[in-house]
Amino acid sequence: MTDSPTRYPIRVYNTLTKTKEPFETIEPGRVGMYLCGPTVYAEAHIGHMVGPVIFDTIKRYLAFCGYQVTWVVNITDVDDKLIQRSQQRGISMFQLATQMTADYLSNLQSLGVDQIDRMPRATDSIDEIIAFIEELIQRGFAYESEGDVFFDVAKDPEYGRLSNRSADEQQGEGGGAASRKRSAGDFALWKSAKPGEPSWPSPWGDGRPGWHIECSAMSRGILGKTFDIHGGGLDLVFPHHENELAQSRCCHGQPMVRYWLHNGLMRASTEAGKVGGRSERDAGTEPNAGAEPATVTDAVSGKISRSKGAGGLASLIARHTGERIRFFLLRSHYRSTTIFGDEPLLEAGTALEAFYRLFDRFQRITGKSVYDLPFASRRADFTTPSIPNPLVSELLPLRESFLSKMDDDFNTGGATADLFEMARAINRFIDGQSLEENKSPVGIEALQQGMQILREMAALLGIFLKPVPKSSSDDSSGKLVGELMGLIIKLRADARVRKDFATSDAVRDGLQAIGVAIQDGKSGTTWQVKS
Partner RNA sequence: GGCUCCGUAGCCAAGUGGCUAAGGCAGCGGAUUGCAAAUCCGCCAUGCGUGGGUUCAACUCCCACCGGAGCCUCCA
Span 250-309, contacts to RNA by CB under 7 A: 263, 265-267, 273-282, 298, 301-307
Let me know: does 182 contact 140? Beta carbons within 8 Å. no
Span 465-484, contacts to RNA by CB under 7 A: none
CB of 92 to RNA, least distance (A): 20
Cα distance between residue 270 and residue 288, in whole Å: 8
> DSSP character for 356?
H
**Burial category of 487 from C-beta neighbours within 10 Å (exposed 0-12, middle 13-18, buried 19 and up):** exposed
Residues 123, 219, 321, 504: which binds RNA (CB under 7 A)?
504
Span 4-23, contacts to RNA by CB under 7 A: 18
Cα distance between residue 240 and residue 237, in whole Å: 6
Segment near RNA (CB under 7 A); pick from 135-143, 149-157, 377-385, 515-523? 515-523
Residues 427, 449, 472, 477: which binds RNA (CB under 7 A)?
427
Span 228-247, contacts to RNA by CB under 7 A: 232-240
- At 498, is the secondary structure helix, strand, or coil? coil
Q: Which is nearer to RNA, 139 or 278 (CB)?
A: 278
Question: Per CB under 7 A, does 389 bind RNA?
Answer: no
Q: Which is nearer to RNA, 274 or 470 (CB)?
A: 274
| Other residues' Cβ atoms within 10 Å of the Cβ of residue 132 | 23
Segment near RNA (CB under 7 A); pick from 215-223, 318-326, 377-385, 499-507? 499-507
Cα distance between residue 528 and residue 531, in whole Å: 9
Q: Which is nearer to RNA, 121 or 331 (CB)?
A: 331
Let me know: does 15 contact 262? Beta carbons within 8 Å. yes
CB of 123 to RNA, least distance (A): 16
Question: Per CB under 7 A, does 433 bind RNA?
Answer: no
Let me know: does 78 contact 208? Beta carbons within 8 Å. yes
Cα distance between residue 239 and residue 212, in whole Å: 9
| Other residues' Cβ atoms within 10 Å of the Cβ of residue 124 | 13
Cβ-Cβ contacts under 8 Å for 40 (sequence gap 6 or more):
75, 76, 77, 82, 96, 97, 100, 101, 103, 104
Span 23-62, contacts to RNA by CB under 7 A: 36-39, 47-48, 50-51
CB of 201 to RNA, least distance (A): 24
CB of 456 to RNA, least distance (A): 18
Let me know: does 531 contact 470? Beta carbons within 8 Å. yes
CB of 434 to RNA, least distance (A): 11
Let me know: does 230 contact 259? Beta carbons within 8 Å. yes
Q: Which is nearer to RNA, 479 or 499 (CB)?
A: 499
Cα distance between residue 472 and residue 28, in whole Å: 46
Rounded to the nearest angstrom, the gap between the alpha carbon of residue 199 and the centroid of all alpha carbons in its chain is: 33
Let me know: does 369 contact 363? Beta carbons within 8 Å. yes
Span 333-352, contacts to RNA by CB under 7 A: 333, 336-339, 344, 347, 350-351
Segment near RNA (CB under 7 A); pick from 21-29, 122-130, 388-396, 408-416? 408-416
Residue count at the site for RNA (CB under 7 A)? Answer: 92
Residues 220, 320, 405, 455: which binds RNA (CB under 7 A)?
405
Cα distance between residue 524 and residue 518, in whole Å: 10
Cα distance between residue 465 and residue 451, in whole Å: 13
CB of 343 to RNA, least distance (A): 7
Span 91-150, contacts to RNA by CB under 7 A: none
CB of 132 to RNA, least distance (A): 18
Segment near RNA (CB under 7 A); pick from 84-92, 159-167, 249-257, 382-390? 159-167
Q: Which is nearer to RNA, 66 or 103 (CB)?
A: 103
CB of 506 to RNA, least distance (A): 10
CB of 338 to RNA, least distance (A): 6
Q: Which is nearer to RNA, 14 or 452 (CB)?
A: 14
Let me know: does 41 contact 76? Beta carbons within 8 Å. no
- At 523, is the secondary structure helix, strand, or coil? coil
Cα distance between residue 121 and residue 225, in whole Å: 19
Phi, psi dihedrals of residue 520, rounded to the nearest 5°: -90, 110
